Amino acid sequence: MPHPEAPPLLEISDLHLTMASFDGVAHVLNGVDLTVRRGEVWGLVGESGCGKSLTGLSISRLVPTPPARYPAGEIRFNGTDLMRLRPREMQALRGRRIGMIFQDPTTNLNPTARIGDQLVDVALAAAAHDPTVLGPAPGGARRAARALAAEMMQRVGIDDAAARLRSYPHEFSGGMRQRVLIAMALIGRPDLLIADEPTTALDVSVQAQILALLKRLVAEHGIGVILITHNLAVVAQTCSHVAVMYAGNVVEAAPVAELIGAPAHPYTRALLAAIPTRETRRGELRGLAGSVPDLIHPPPGCRFAPRCARATSVCQTLPPLRPLTPGHLVACYHPITEPAGA
Partner 1 sequence: MPEPILEIRDVSKTYPARAGLFGRGVAVAALRRVSLSVARGESFGLVGESGSGKTTLTRAILRLETPSAGQILYRGEDLAKLSARALRAWRAKVQIVFQDPYASLNPRMTVEAIVTEPMVIHRRAMPLSSTQRRDRAAELLALVGLAPQHLRRHPHEFSGGQRQRIGIARALASGPDLLLLDEPTSALDVSVQAQVLNLLIDLQDRLGLTYFFISHDLSVVRYLCDRVALIRHGVVEEVGQTQQIFDAPATEYARMLIAAAPEVRPFTG
Partner 2 sequence: MSEIDAEAELPAPSDGLARALHRFRQSRLSVVGAAMVAVVLFFAVFGQQLAPYPEQVAGAVDTTARFLPPSMAHPFGTNELGQDVLSLTMAGTAVSVLAGFGVVLIGSLVGTLVGAIAGFAGGWVDEVLMRLTDLTLTIPSLILAMAIAAALGPGFQNMVIAISVSWWPGYARLVRGEVLAAREEVYVTAARALGAIPGRVLFRHILPNCVSPIIVKMSLDMGFAILTVAGLGFIGIGVRPPTPEWGAQLAVAQAYMPNDWWTAMAPGMAMFLAVFGFNLLGDGLRDILDPKGRR
Binding site for partner 1 (CB under 8 A): 47-48, 203-205, 207-208, 211, 230-234, 236-237, 256-257, 260-261, 270-278, 280, 282-283, 285-288, 291, 340-341
Closest CB to partner 1 among residues 62, 212: 212
- Rounded CA-CA distance 196/137 in Å is 34
The CA-based angle 177-195-2, given to 5 degrees, is 125
Q: Is 22 in the site for partner 2 (CB under 8 A)?
A: yes
State the binding partner of 22 from partner 2, partner 1, none, CB within 5 to 8 A by kind. Answer: partner 2
Binds partner 2 (CB under 8 A): choice among 287, 326, 339, 341: 287
Q: How far is the CB of 65 from partner 1 (least distance, A)?
A: 28
8-1-238-245 Cα dihedral, nearest 10 degrees: -30
Closest CB to partner 1 among residues 89, 203: 203
State the binding partner of 167 from partner 2, partner 1, none, CB within 5 to 8 A by kind. Answer: none
Considering only residues 263 to 282 of the shown chain, the ones binding partner 2 according to CB under 8 A are none
Binds partner 2 (CB under 8 A): choice among 291, 309, 341, 342: 291
Only segment of 25-33, 161-169, 182-190, 285-293 that touches partner 2 (CB under 8 A):
285-293
- Rounded CA-CA distance 238/43 in Å is 8
Q: Is 341 in the site for partner 2 (CB under 8 A)?
A: no
Helices and strands, counts by H and E, the chain: 10, 13
Q: Is 289 in the site for partner 2 (CB under 8 A)?
A: yes
- Rounded CA-CA distance 173/178 in Å is 9
Q: Is 286 in the site for partner 2 (CB under 8 A)?
A: yes
Q: How far is the CB of 331 from partner 1 (least distance, A)?
A: 19
Please answer whether residues 224 and 9 qualify as being in contact, where contact means their C-beta atoms are separated by less than 8 angstroms. yes
CA atoms within 13 A on the CB side of 31: 9
- Rounded CA-CA distance 199/185 in Å is 15
Q: Which amino acid is at 280?
A: T
Instruction: Classify residue 168 as exposed, middle or buried by CB count within 10 Å of its CB (0-12, 13-18, 19+).
Output: middle
* Torsion sign (Cα): 37, 42, 46, 48: positive
Q: Is 87 in the site for partner 2 (CB under 8 A)?
A: no
Q: Which residues bind partner 2 (CB under 8 A)?
A: 22, 286-287, 289-291
